[in-house]
Structure 1
Amino acid sequence: MEWTIQELAARAGITSRTLRHYDRVGLLVPSRVGANGYRYYNPTAVARLQRILLMRRLGMGLPAIAEVLAEEVDALDGLRAHIAALEEERDRIERQVRSVRHTLEALQAGVEPRMDVMLAGFNDLYKDEVISRWGEHAFQVSNDWWHGKSLDQQRAWKQDTDDLVAAWVAAVKAGDSPTSEHAQSLAARHVQWLSQIPGTPAAEGDRERSIEMVNGIGDMFVDDPRFAAMYDDEAGATFVRDALHAYAHTRM
């Protein structure tokens, strides 16, 4: 099957002049030229044009495109690389769409679009810690999950989080022991809270890594001043850490 230069230009959304220019610079030569001087393009040539147009859309100039195509040993590997680049671009655009949608919903609800963590993302502030402790996959999956929520769903989740923190603080003020039944029930509630977040070991049912995660989170509460402040002071953060450690050691 072949297409004339006019047919290919029309299907590709470009001009015949562009195709002739690609021919002149050696970027895309026709598969054959008829006796009447017409240029014809077979599927192999069309596949090459597809890749040229993809690279152009990614902002590459013609000399750079020519260099990429000239250095390729396997056209299939080149196509795979382009699929990966397009998927990355798609993910970036999807994140932007979610961000703008959240901003719109916030404005329609009469609240500030950038209030607290609601639109900043569930774990954006702690991206480096999440990746270093549990990997890029854990961050990306949980971050996508958070940004996929509606504004009302984010509010509900944040309220549940605030309620859990308040319950921990109340237990500390009541003089409970980290190993008391009440403190251990809070630890169980905390682990259940974590299991709702996609990408975490708790959500994936990985017992060994879940124990490691719970212990690591407990340590982070004490080591990071931001978390100590969340639980009123270092003593509060230490109580939560000890309760989580005890729960991970005896009940997970």
Structure 2
Amino acid sequence: MELTIQELAARAGITSRALRHYDRVGLLAPSRVGANGYRYYDVGAVARLQRILLMRRLGMGLPAIAEVLADEVDACDGLRAHIAALEEERDRIERQIRSVRHTLEALEAGAEPQMDVMLAGFNDHYKDEVVSLWGERAYRLANDWWHGKTLDQQRAWKQAAEDLVAAWVAAAKAGISPTSERAQSLAARHVRWLSQIPGTPTADGDRERSIEMVKGLGAMYVEDPRFTGMYDDAAGAAFVRDALQAYARTRM
């Protein structure tokens, strides 16, 4: 079975112009071109288009998609990876649907929605990062812990974090040494703060992994722009890193 370019475009919900563009950039060539110049696409081409559209929906650009397709040895492995990604996205959307339905039903009944349920499915953007660093268990425990808090408790936690950051910034601006007693006291406070989060090595009492985590976080504060600015500037982030790493080496 084959589809013309117009038929394929209509069924895929895209334009024939897009299909021609995919051909020009080497992503998807027609299976054959008829004597009349018409482009035809067989099952293999449609399967490839399906994968291209999936990756586009996941936010990938055409050059990145081309690299994925070029590097693949087995198309079935690629399809399995896409199924896993789609299942994860489905689970996230289902959590969002449940949370919005909970809010709607509570409001219609004149009741107050539960904060932890209202935000389920909307805060998973750090999941992959947390899982890669500390594992699935750490993510699950920390996520459950956070959503088990009331709104006031969440606000109090965030305020404590902001107060800690402000203390770090003030110490860095004071020009003290990262190994000074004031800096090391802040490092101890930072580690105690981390130990309140279930699933982290500090919360589990795992000394070796805790040392590794504290050193790694210190490095991340300098290397990751999301955190560098939080400590005012690169010098402030470097001060926090050096203090945490000195604390991990000598006091943990």
TM-score interval, smaller chain: 0.5 to 0.7
* Conserved 8 A contact 2:95-2:120: no
Percent sequence identity over aligned pairs: 71
* Conserved 8 A contact 1:121-1:147: no
Deviations 1:201-235 (A, max 9, x none): 10011101100110111111111001001001111
For 2:101 and 2:238, the matched residues in 1 are separated by 36
* Conserved 8 A contact 2:99-2:120: no
SS in 1 for 2:126: helix
2:237 corresponding residue in structure 1: 237
SS in 2 for 1:185: helix
* Conserved 8 A contact 1:231-1:237: yes
Letter in 2 for 1:250: T
Q: CA deviation at 1:94?
A: 11
SS in 2 for 1:137: helix
1:4 corresponding residue in structure 2: none
Q: CA deviation at 1:124?
A: 3.8
* Conserved 8 A contact 1:99-1:119: no
SS in 1 for 2:149: coil
The answer to whether structure 1 residue 187 and structure 2 residue 184 are counterparts is no
Q: CA deviation at 1:126?
A: 2.6
Deviations 1:98-147 (A, max 9, x none): 9956xx89xx9xxxx9xxxx958997443222111111111111011101
2:227 corresponding residue in structure 1: 227
Gaps of at least 5 residues in structure 2 are: 1-90
Matches within 5 A, 1:126-137: 126-137=126-137
For 1:157 and 1:122, the matched residues in 2 are separated by 19
* 1:228–1:121 Cα change, 3 Å: farther
* Conserved 8 A contact 1:191-1:202: yes
1:146 corresponding residue in structure 2: 146
1:211 corresponding residue in structure 2: 211
Deviations 1:138-192 (A, max 9, x none): 1111011101111000000000000000000000111111111000000000000
* Conserved 8 A contact 2:138-2:199: yes
* Conserved 8 A contact 2:191-2:202: yes
| CA RMSD, Structure 1 to Structure 2 (Å) | 3.2
Letter in 1 for 2:238: T
Q: CA deviation at 1:196?
A: 0.3
* Conserved 8 A contact 1:218-1:242: yes
* Conserved 8 A contact 2:96-2:120: no
Higher-Rg structure is: 1
* 1:251–1:98 Cα change, 3 Å: farther
For 2:185 and 2:236, the matched residues in 1 are separated by 17
For 1:205 and 1:141, the matched residues in 2 are separated by 15
For normalisation by structure 2, the TM-score amounts to 0.53
1:197 corresponding residue in structure 2: 197
SS in 1 for 2:179: coil
